[in-house]
Amino acid sequence: MKSSGVSMSIGEVAAHFGLATHVLRHWESMGLLAPARVTGDRRRYGTGDLYRIAIILRAKDGGFGLAEIRAMLSAPGRAERRAVLLSRRAELARRIAEAQASLELIDCALDCEQEDLAACPDFRAEIAARARLALPVDLVGAGMPPRPTVNDSQNVRGGPAA
């Protein structure tokens, strides 16, 4: 990628971003970067290259793999780029939902005043709901509605059996 403006060596760029030079070389070998070459086949990075490196780093922070980043950056059009981004977005939304469910479970456990967490009615009800288990008889009698039991066609997450 040819760019105007600044011109930095691979060492300067690596130091600027806190990377090892071999990382930039690897990204170049994967088609993520294409710095200009000068005398002696030395790499020179311009402003556009610096922005591209910043995009790569940010995308990695967002969970993108290098192949996904390459697909996003080299997409021939908006539709192809959008498809890559929508796929990553769906994965992140799924992970966020899982993390939110974990937080809710932790909050429920933190609210429990029982010495034995497994004996806490609210926590047991939460676990039963998440695992799609029938509530224990002692909780049903306490005014909580029974949950359906897990049948053979569903796993504990509620999806089809593998």
Structure confidence at residue 132 (pLDDT): 81
pLDDT digits over 69-112, tens only? 999 999 999 999 999 999 999 999 999 999 999 999 999 999 99
pLDDT digits over 117-156, tens only? 888 888 888 888 888 887 665 555 454 554 444 444 444 4
Question: For 19-26, which contacts have Cβ atoms below 8 Å and span 24 or more sequence positions?
Answer: 24/53
Structure confidence at residue 63 (pLDDT): 86
Rg of the chain over CA atoms, in angstroms?
26
Q: Which of 54, 28, 53, 51 is nearest to 41 (CA)?
A: 28
DSSP 89-105: HHHHHHHHHHHHHHHHH
Q: Which of 9, 64, 74, 68 is nearest to 35 (CA)?
A: 9
Give the residue, 59 or 155, on which the prediction is more confident. Answer: 59
Structure confidence at residue 131 (pLDDT): 82
The residue count of the chain comes to: 162
Structure confidence at residue 138 (pLDDT): 57
Q: In which element (H, E) is residue 142 found?
A: none
pLDDT digits over 23-57, tens only? 999 999 999 999 999 888 899 999 999 999 999 99
pTM over 0.85: no
Cβ neighbour number for residue 106 with a 10 Å cutoff:
10
DSSP one-letter code for 42: E
The alpha carbon of residue 35 and the mean position of all alpha carbons in its chain are separated, in whole angstroms, by: 29
Structure confidence at residue 34 (pLDDT): 94
Residue 42: φ, ψ to 5°: -85, 140
